[in-house]
Amino acid sequence: MQYNSGALTAARRADLCAVANVKGKPFMRASWKFLVMCVLVFALFGQRAQAQQPRTIYLVRHADKVSDAVDAPLSDAGRKRAECLANTLADAQVQQIFTSELQRTQQTAAPLAEKLHLKPVAIPISKPDELIDAIRSSKAASVLVVWHDATLPRILRALGAPEITPIAHNEYDRFFVLTLAGAGKESKPGFAALRYCDCPR
């Protein structure tokens, strides 16, 4: 037979109150102080446990683009890679997506965002520090970041990853995974550098 621990705890508290009624008000005051102390302790441990929930951050450069224009869209190969990324992360329970304001990052994230019914958060490419703060403060347990080759290594370092080799201009398949054991920059992350969706051109 299984017992409900919450019901047993409530029953014990009821017994304490009954005893307090018999023995008088001083005992009742002590019981209430003890109860308040227990509530505060449980709340503190609950907050600490919540803060230590692991978080997974997936970071990629945008997919293949058609040209070197400032706001160049994805090429056919890039659109295939974006679809491949969506399939790769379909079961990763991504809860939030960050991109820049440039369309190639948004087009890379779009297939997954549509699949998961998420609206990506666009942060200006000129403000990588704002992106870092947004990732740290996000309450999502699983996050995708689609960014740019020039500043992605610095963003990784700021989040606690080791230094990576520079991302070449023609490299679109670099895939990074950070696992944060706790909240914010105090956590020591796990890190993996992978390749993904090497689509034929």
Q: What is the pTM of this model?
A: 0.73
What's the whole-number mean pLDDT along residues 156-174? 96
Residue 138 tokens read as 């996000």
Count CB neighbours of 15 within 10 A.
10
Q: In whole numbers, what is the pLDDT of the chain averaged over residues?
A: 82
Q: What's the CATH architecture for 55-195? A: 3-Layer(aba) Sandwich (3.40)
* β-pair type (142-147, 190-195): unpaired
Please give the backbone phi and psi of residue 157, each rounded to the nearest 5 degrees, phi first.
Answer: -65, -40
pLDDT at residue 173 in the model = 97
Nearest residue to 157 (alpha-carbon basis) of 183, 124, 191, 125: 191
Q: Which of 29-43, 95-109, 149-163 has the lowest mean pLDDT?
A: 29-43
Number of Cα atoms under 13 Å in the Cβ half of residue 82: 25
pLDDT at residue 119 in the model = 98
Residue 59 has pLDDT above 50, yes or no: yes
What's the whole-number mean pLDDT along residues 168-175? 96
pLDDT tens, 8-18? 344 444 443 44
DSSP state of 185: G
pLDDT band, very low/low/confident/very high, at 7 (cuts 50, 70, 90): very low
Rounded Cα distance, 76 and 11, in Å: 67
What's the whole-number mean pLDDT along residues 137-161? 97
